[in-house]
Amino acid sequence: MKIYGHHYHHHPNPWDEAPPWAVELGFIVGLLLANTESLMTVSQEVQDALDLVRTTKSLVQSVDAGIKVNNTLIVDLQAQIAALQAGQVLSADDKAALAETAQDLKDVNTQLASDIPAGTTP
């Protein structure tokens, strides 16, 4: 413990000759400091919880947007496949459209995977 008032009281430990009211006041200040540390710890825990809620909310929004895009792409891909099953000849444009839709699905899934924070369990 650093002694700040040594030049006033000239004692290595100011509590040795302190009056009872000063000892009581010192004890109360110690309690206040301990409670302040506890409050700061709780405050940090609350902040961490709020950050987790924000991350989860953002993750849910990202997944929701990704699901909507995937659903649109799946419907498009199903329509292209249905047209092929109806006997349509597969042109170069059709092949390119199918490849593009499949790549779009992969891209959306990759983006969804990257939006999930590391260490998140499925």
Say which residues have a Cβ less than 8 Å from residue 17's Cβ, sequence separation at least 6: 9, 11
65: burial class by Cβ within 10 Å (0-12, 13-18, 19+)? middle
Confidence (pLDDT) at 6? 66
The sign one gets for the Cα dihedral 33, 36, 42, 43 is: negative
How far from chain centre, in Å, is Cα 83? 44
Each residue's pLDDT expressed in tens, for the chain with a length of 122 residues = 677 676 677 777 777 788 888 888 988 888 888 888 888 888 888 888 888 887 777 777 777 777 788 888 888 877 877 777 777 777 788 778 878 888 888 887 777 777 666 666 55
CA distance 24 to 55: 47
Single out the residue of 112, 121, 115 nearest to residue 55, CA to CA: 115
Coil vs helix vs strand at 121: coil
Q: How far is CA 95 from CA 43, 54, 70, 76, 108, in A?
A: 58, 42, 19, 14, 20
Confidence (pLDDT) at 1? 63
